[in-house]
A = this chain, B = another copy of it.
C-alpha cells in the first residue's frame, strides 16, 4: 500500500471520530490548536525561514517569495484566524428541514460533515492552517498536500496541530499532511475513491487540469475568474467609473477582479472616453475591439482572445448590443464566476441578472465582493467555480453534507 493511501485511510478513520464530537469539544480543540501554534512560533518561523532561504537560493521571484513568507504579522493573523473559526457557529447537526409523512414517518434532514477532504494547494503555508481548521470546525478531517516551496513550514505546522489533537485523545491524522510534494502525490490523491470524500484543488490551471484528468473522487474546482463589468446605456457615469476602476485595480491578481469591460453600443461614445482615461490613469494597459477604439478615441489593439484572465493591470474592452449582447458575450467567453451590470434601469438589471449564468451577479457593485468574508460567511476555503454542491464562496455550510434521519413506529412498505 502506498504511503499516501495509508495516510488517507488513517485520516478517514479519524474523520469518523471528528464527526461525533460535540461543538464545544471542537471549539476547545481549535483553541488548543491556536495556543499550540502560538507556543511553537519560534520553531515554526525557523522552519519557514529555511523555506524562504531555499526558495531565494533557487532564484524564486518576488511575489512567490512574498506569499511563502510567514512573517510576524501573518503568523499572528493565522493564529487569530484559528480562534475566529472557533467562534463561528457550528453548521453540523442543524435541522435543515423536517416533515412528517402520511404514514407517520418523521423525516429530519440534518447537516453532517462530509468526511475526509483532500486539499491541494500551492505555496502559502498559512493555507495549511486556514483550510485544516475550517474543515475541522465542520467536523471534517483533511488530507493536505501543499507546495514544495513551503515543505518545512507545512510539516512543522501540521505536526504542531496533530500533536494538539493527540493530547486531546484524537488521532493526529484529523489533520494529515502528505509528505510528498511532487505531482505523483496529486495523482495518488485523485485515485482514492471511497477514501477521500471531496477533493479541492486550489491553484493555477496546470494543477486544476491535472486533478480533473486523474480524479476518480468528487472534485470542487477553484479555478479561473474571467469577470466582466457591463456598463449599460442608463449607467450613472461616475458610478460606472468607480466600479470599473475598483474591479480592475484594487487587487488585480485575485479571481474576482474584472478582466473585460463591456460597454453598451448606445451611449458608448459618451462614457468610454472618460472610462478609458480613468483606467489608463491607474496604469491599466487596455485592449479593445474596433468599436471600443472608435468610441473611446484611444488607439486600442484588439486582445488576442476574450477569454484571458490577465491577473494584472490589463483590461479588454468590447462594445456590445445592450443586455442581450452582454449576455451573449458572457456565455461565449466568460468563466461564470462574477459579473456585474451598472445601470439605473431596474428592468435592464433584472434581465441581466436573470440571464447571467454566473456564481455571483452584481447590480451596481464591484465584482471584488465575491469573497466569503465580504459575504459574511466568517471564513472561506475558497471560491468554487463549479455548479455542483458549492458555487461561489465556500464557507462552513458548504463544507457539510446532509443525511436523513427517519423515525418510525414499525412502518413497513406495502
| B-binding residues in A (CB < 8 A) | 16, 19-20, 99, 101, 105, 107, 112, 114-115, 193, 197-198, 212-213, 215-216, 218-220, 236, 239, 242-243, 245-247, 250, 331, 349, 353-355, 357-366, 368-370, 374-376, 386-389, 391-392, 401-413
Q: Are A218 and B386 in contact (CB under 8 A)?
A: yes
Listed by A's residue number, 15 A-B pairs whose Cβ atoms lie within 8 Å are A115-B357, A212-B216, A213-B216, A218-B387, A218-B388, A236-B410, A360-B404, A361-B403, A361-B404, A361-B406, A363-B408, A364-B409, A366-B412, A368-B412, A388-B388
Which one, B16, B368, B392, B404, contacts A375 given CB within 8 A? B404
Cβ-defined partner of A357 (8 Å) among B19, B216, B358, B406: B19
A412-B364 contact, Cβ under 8 Å, with A99-B376, A376-B99: no
- Name A362's contact: one of B353, B364, B406 (CB within 8 Å): B406
Measured between alpha carbons, how far is A386 from B115 in the docked complex, in Å? 12
Q: Are B16 and A331 touching (Cβ within 8 A)?
A: yes
Contact A406 B243 (CB under 8 A): no
**Copies of chain A in the complex:** 2
Chain B residues near A409 (CB, 8 Å)?
A: 364-365
Q: What 10 A-B pairs come out closest when comparing CB atoms?
A: A365-B408, A246-B412, A389-B389, A368-B413, A387-B401, A239-B410, A218-B388, A365-B411, A360-B404, A364-B408
Chain B residues positioned under 8 Å from A364 (CB to CB): 407-411
A contacts with B: majority SS: mixed
- Residue among A213, A354, A412 with max Cβ neighbours from chain B (10 Å): A412
Smallest distance from the beta carbon of A257 to chain B beta carbons, Å? 10
Q: How far is the CA of A19 from the CA of B386 in the complex (A)?
A: 17
Given the interface pairs A388-B401, A391-B402, the reply to whether A366 lies near B413 with Cβ below 8 Å is: yes
C-alpha gap A369/B245 in the complex (Å): 56
Other-chain contact of A197, B212, B218, B387, B403 (Cβ < 8 Å): B387
Q: Distance (Å) between the CB of A288 and the closest chain B CB?
A: 23
The interface residues of chain B lying within 8 Å CB-to-CB of A197 are: 387-388
Contact (Cβ within 8 A) B366 A403: no
A374 to B107: give the CA distance in the assembly, Å: 11
Question: Which residues from chain B contact A405 at a C-beta distance below 8 Å?
Answer: 353, 360-361, 363
Task: Please judge, given known A-B contacts A250-B413, A357-B16, A391-B401, whether A369 and B105 are in contact too, CB under 8 Å.
Answer: yes
Which residues of B sit under 8 angstroms from A402, Cβ to Cβ?
391
Q: A99 to nearest B CB, angstroms?
A: 7
Asked if residues A411 and B359 are in contact (CB atoms below 8 Å), the reply is: no
Q: A129 CB to closest chain B CB, in angstroms?
A: 24
- Which B residues are in CB contact (< 8 Å) with A392? 403-404
Besides the contacts A357-B403, A375-B404, what 20 more A-B pairs have beta carbons closer than 8 Å? Answer: A101-B376, A105-B365, A215-B215, A215-B216, A239-B410, A242-B410, A246-B412, A247-B412, A349-B407, A360-B404, A360-B406, A361-B406, A363-B407, A365-B408, A366-B412, A369-B406, A369-B413, A370-B404, A387-B401, A391-B401
Cα of A176 to Cα of B228 in the assembled complex, Å: 31
